[in-house]
Structure 1
Amino acid sequence: MKSWSGSAGICINEKMEVLMVKSFESEGWAVPSGGIEAGESPEECCIREVKEETGYDVKVIELIRVKETTINDIHVTTYYFRVEKIGESSGINDPDEIIAEANWKSLAELNAINHVYPEDLELLLEQLI
């Protein structure tokens, strides 16, 4: 079976809002994430993906969860990190050009929006408590 590994960054601001992104092809929101490149650690991937997709520089605080699943016969491992933003966003600079929007979502908004990965909602809510 093929395998794929990636990282995701959960960033919460001082207003207790979660940094989320939406792609051009989806109405759903997700935390910034992407595939780990050759020679890259999961932490380095997380920092790079958050920067590309949201424009924020972040530092990794801790590994929260490792999600393993199978999608279309591909074994998928995703490392979820709690990250902290450094400064303000320099704007989306996504080399894959799939990110349409990056925005901060409040607790109420998290419960109302469509999620690309609905199973992540519980994890996000746990981080806000």
Structure 2
Amino acid sequence: MEKWVGAAAVCINSQNELLMVKQGKQTEAHSWSVPSGGLERNETFEECCIRELYEETGYIGHIKKPLFVKEADFQNIDVVVHYYLVDIIGGKMTIQDPDQLIHAIAWQSRKDIEVLYLSFPEDREFLHHMLQQSECL
């Protein structure tokens, strides 16, 4: 079985909104996800997370803490994704994706997350929980 490994950035702003990107190939339905992507050669998961955040959104991030590792079987591909809580420390919102798969960037509220068409629907409960937790801080 083929294996894909990568990292994902979970960024929450002061208005308790989650940074998300609308992604997909030109020929497929576009869906929303946290900034994420595949691990490159000689790259750590943390470096991958920060690079993907910058490429997809234009924001510079700093990893606050690791959250969890998701392992799944997606269309006969063994997928492993390391999720990190990331603070935005610079940059500006702009799509810089070299793969041309990102079509929009937006800060999404808890209410938005409930109805968005997600790339990974299994993340909805986790993302909702992260925003709910953030409200308590």
| Aligned counterpart, 2:5 | 5
How many residue pairs were aligned?
A: 129
Structure 1 runs of 4+ with >6 Å offset: none
Give aligned-pair identity as a percent: 43
Q: Structure 1 residue aligned with 2:70, among 67, 73, 88?
A: 67
CA distance in structure 1 between the partners assigned to 2:34 and 2:45 by the alignment:
15
Q: Structure 2 residue aligned with 1:122, among 120, 125, 128?
A: 125
The aligned runs of 1:1-129 (5 Å cut-off) are: 1-24=1-24, 25-129=28-132
- Checking the alignment, whether the CA contact within 8 Å between 2:93 and 2:105 is kept in structure 1 is no
Q: How much is the aligned-residue C-alpha RMSD, in angstroms?
A: 1.2
After superposition, the C-alpha distances for 1:38-64 in whole angstroms (9 at most, x for unaligned) are: 100000000000100011000011111
1:72 shift after superposition: 2.4
CA distance in structure 2 between the partners assigned to 1:101 and 1:90 by the alignment:
10
CA distance in structure 2 between the partners assigned to 1:26 and 1:105 by the alignment:
19
Q: Assess, with a 3 A threshold, how the Cα gap between structure 1 residues 32 and 26 changes in structure 2: closer, same or farther.
A: farther
CA distance in structure 1 between the partners assigned to 2:9 and 2:49 by the alignment:
6
CA distance in structure 2 between the partners assigned to 1:37 and 1:16 by the alignment:
31
SS of equivalent residue, structure 2 residue 129: helix
Structure 1 runs not aligned, ≥5 long: none
Amino acid across the alignment from 2:10: I
CA distance in structure 2 between the partners assigned to 1:115 and 1:67 by the alignment:
16
State the TM-score, normalizing by the size of structure 2.
0.89
SS of equivalent residue, structure 1 residue 16: coil
1:88 shift after superposition: 4.2
